[in-house]
Structure 1
Amino acid sequence: MYHIEKSIKNIINYSFLPDTSNIIHIGYGIDSNYIRCCATSIISFCKNNPQENFHFYIMISNLDEISKNKFHLLAKQNSINITIYEIDISFFKQLPSRLAFPLPTYFRFILPSILKDLDKVFYIDADVICINNASEFFNTKLNTNIIAAVPDTIDTATNRNNDLGLKNHIYFNAGVIIINIKKWNLLNIFDKLIKEILTDPKKFYMLDQDALNLILTQKIAYLPKKFNYFNGFYPWHKDSITNKEIILLHFTSSPKPWDLGWEVSSMSNDYNRDLYKTYENQTPWKNASPVYPKHYRRLRIYSQDLYHHGYYLSSIKYYILYLLTKLKK
């Protein structure tokens, strides 16, 4: 059995909750690329649920002093608790990772061990924002289930179930999960997940999400998609759900709302175009510049999107940058 205490390098507490009763516990696992959106996710919960007492937990390998000060200010200004766990990733380096899924994606595995004295925690991906009151979500009953989660898209579910050999299983997205901490730890879910991944790493294309589906099958309470609505995958204009019904909006696709290219992307529409920025501008990260594409293919897509919107000179500029960046690879 692995003892998570070995991986915790530092714990930082910013405590400003005036009332410590009936606390909602929400956790995030991030790297440095997701700091600003994690803060945005936090503020979105606060603004849409002013009646709740929140304690947020952030697991990250390294956090710079500027960001620490900003999280301190975020906690103080909104009368919430924020606990930051700086994690040594040495143990996780033995696990597979991809560009879209860096090693901190596994941090959700250790959250129940860190918060072992609690009954329930809400794990939220940092690219999820709360856009309406979430009382119904917070009041979810897990009963005998280990987690609650939202089913993934049909195509993803079919492909992943086939590759994992799962039968009679509804494949879920791990971006929003409610964890029964006592049951998770009692059944040693962390150890089972790690053992399964190390046995056949190539099988887990979706990494931690695949492993969670494999280990937790038949122990899941399924939630309606309004609690993890996939921006870009569900066509809003063809869907029966309305903007007012969506509780948690998950920016699963690229570009993200904080990326260069978001405004002209097909992922962006009249409703969601400025939605993320509205919340980010209520954090100490307000007015932050868009993030430049980290992969040359994103430059090509950005160039194409600019062209389709009639920005021809800018399109040419970024296509040239795409070619130059590609040549360096």
Structure 2
Amino acid sequence: MSQDYFAEEDVILTKLEFDHCTDKNDANSFHISYGIDKNFLFGCGISIASVLLSNPESKFVFHIFTDYFSDNDREKFDALAAQYNSRIVVYLINCEKLKVLPSTKNWTYATYFRFIIADYFSGKIDKILYLDADIVCKGSVQELIDLSFDESEIAAVVAEGDIEWWKKRSITLDTPKLINGYFNAGFLLINLPAWSKYNISTRAIDMLKDPEAVKKITHLDQDVLNILLAGNDRFVDGKFNTQYSINYELKKDKVFDPIPNSCVFIHYIGPTKPWHIWANYPVSEYFNRAKENSPWQSVSLLSPSTSHQFRYSAKHYFKQGLILKCIYSYINYYAKKLF
């Protein structure tokens, strides 16, 4: 790991193992990782359950990097590993150095955990899949398990937007190669030897600490990774990162499931997540199905608690014809805004 930023003995405070796998040979396992804060632990658990539910014949090891993990979380994730005869490893990390890096309302310091993940596993395994915790699996990942990299390919990624968006990003980020594609960093199948060879984590952190570089970026580490990987990334089918915002439902005339059958990973982008109680649409069923087949089965979906959430819940309740709930949410929204 980088001596400047990610010395393992300084970053990894505690390692918790929930191992209920009968086959202890990790050489047969596909490694999947998450980097999250406490707000995404619920989503992370269901994401893992969805992978296991959709891929019963495959063997996985899941790695969760977080700065918070309660006794209740220990109980639930241990039960999840036991339910699916799987292995889950949790790494409690010291993230003080990351807190000095740029952040926004939508992107906290937890977005930088993926750099720690990549550095931690360099030299240990050849590849690891990084997923955002708001991604749910609904198909086979065998294609990713079988994927072989060329030595110059740093990661397999999925394009975001269209050619016009790529042009704008290439100009804004002063990276002409982005005209060939700009990716969403919520899905990264990382070729660890190449990531290490090109020193991606240290170079990314250096850019994020450079005021001149930060002036260009709007999507924090996603922009930085697109700059650094341009020309050395490998674009794979969009089925591996099908992005959908539940807030799109507010603009639709009819309620239907917009996710194609071929989709492997649905990525619930935007502020409304499927674990929110007001996200009551067919598109949330992939999350709900995994939840019903997990230790979180009896855990209630989350109610709004912030002014931002009350505002969105009010809009969704109105869309759903739940007028009393809509009024209640708007009252709470204005109360929180005023007081």
Q: TM-score normalized by structure 2?
A: 0.88
What residue in structure 1 maps to residue 96 of structure 2?
90
Unaligned 5+ segments in structure 2 are none
Whether 2:175 is the aligned partner of 1:171: answer no
Name the SS of the counterpart of 1:290 in structure 2.
coil
What residue in structure 2 maps to residue 293 of structure 1?
304
Whether 2:20 is the aligned partner of 1:16: answer yes
- 1:276 Cα offset (Å): 0.6
CA RMSD of aligned residues (A): 2.1
Distance 1:159 1:297, change over 3 A: farther
> Do the aligned partners of 2:272 and 2:312 also contact (CA within 8 Å) in 1?
no
Whether 2:142 is the aligned partner of 1:135: answer yes
What residue in structure 2 maps to residue 122 of structure 1?
129
- 1:313 Cα offset (Å): 2.2
CA distance in 1, matches of 2:52, 2:323: 41
> Do the aligned partners of 1:157 and 1:172 also contact (CA within 8 Å) in 2?
no
1:33-84 CA deviation, whole Å, 9 max, x = no partner?
1111111111111111111111000000121111012111211221111111
CA distance in 2, matches of 1:25, 1:178: 10
Name the SS of the counterpart of 1:27 in structure 2.
strand
Q: One-letter code of the match for 1:153? A: G
CA distance in 2, matches of 1:18, 1:134: 21
Whether 2:307 is the aligned partner of 1:304: answer no
CA distance in 2, matches of 1:296, 1:157: 34
What residue in structure 2 maps to residue 224 of structure 1?
237
Whether 2:319 is the aligned partner of 1:319: answer no
CA distance in 2, matches of 1:244, 1:122: 22
> Do the aligned partners of 2:136 and 2:286 also contact (CA within 8 Å) in 1?
no
Whether 2:166 is the aligned partner of 1:149: answer no
Whether 2:289 is the aligned partner of 1:281: answer no
- 1:211 Cα offset (Å): 1.0
Q: TM-score normalized by structure 1?
A: 0.91
What residue in structure 1 maps to residue 272 of structure 2?
255
Name the SS of the counterpart of 2:245 in structure 1.
coil
Q: One-letter code of the match for 1:161? A: S
> Do the aligned partners of 1:62 and 1:86 also contact (CA within 8 Å) in 2?
yes
- 1:158 Cα offset (Å): 4.7
Distance 1:243 1:324, change over 3 A: same
> Do the aligned partners of 2:31 and 2:127 also contact (CA within 8 Å) in 1?
yes
What residue in structure 2 maps to residue 54 of structure 1?
60
1:246-280 CA deviation, whole Å, 9 max, x = no partner?
011111123100013211xxxx3x3x232211101
CA distance in 2, matches of 1:306, 1:158: 38
CA distance in 1, matches of 2:300, 2:42: 11
Q: One-letter code of the match for 1:123? A: Y
Distance 1:292 1:4, change over 3 A: farther
CA distance in 1, matches of 2:220, 2:102: 7
What residue in structure 2 maps to residue 195 of structure 1?
206
What residue in structure 1 maps to residue 43 of structure 2?
37
What residue in structure 1 maps to residue 170 of structure 2?
161
> Do the aligned partners of 2:158 and 2:240 also contact (CA within 8 Å) in 1?
yes
Distance 1:189 1:292, change over 3 A: same
Q: Which moved more, 1:74-83 or 1:298-307?
A: 298-307
CA distance in 1, matches of 2:193, 2:205: 19
1:183-221 CA deviation, whole Å, 9 max, x = no partner?
111221111000011113343321111111111111100
CA distance in 2, matches of 1:26, 1:163: 32
Higher helix share: 2
Name the SS of the counterpart of 2:130 in structure 1.
strand
> Do the aligned partners of 1:37 and 1:280 also contact (CA within 8 Å) in 2?
no
1:103 to 106, 109, 132: 109
> Do the aligned partners of 1:28 and 1:59 also contact (CA within 8 Å) in 2?
yes
Q: One-letter code of the match for 1:142? A: F
CA distance in 2, matches of 1:289, 1:203: 41
- 1:287 Cα offset (Å): 2.5
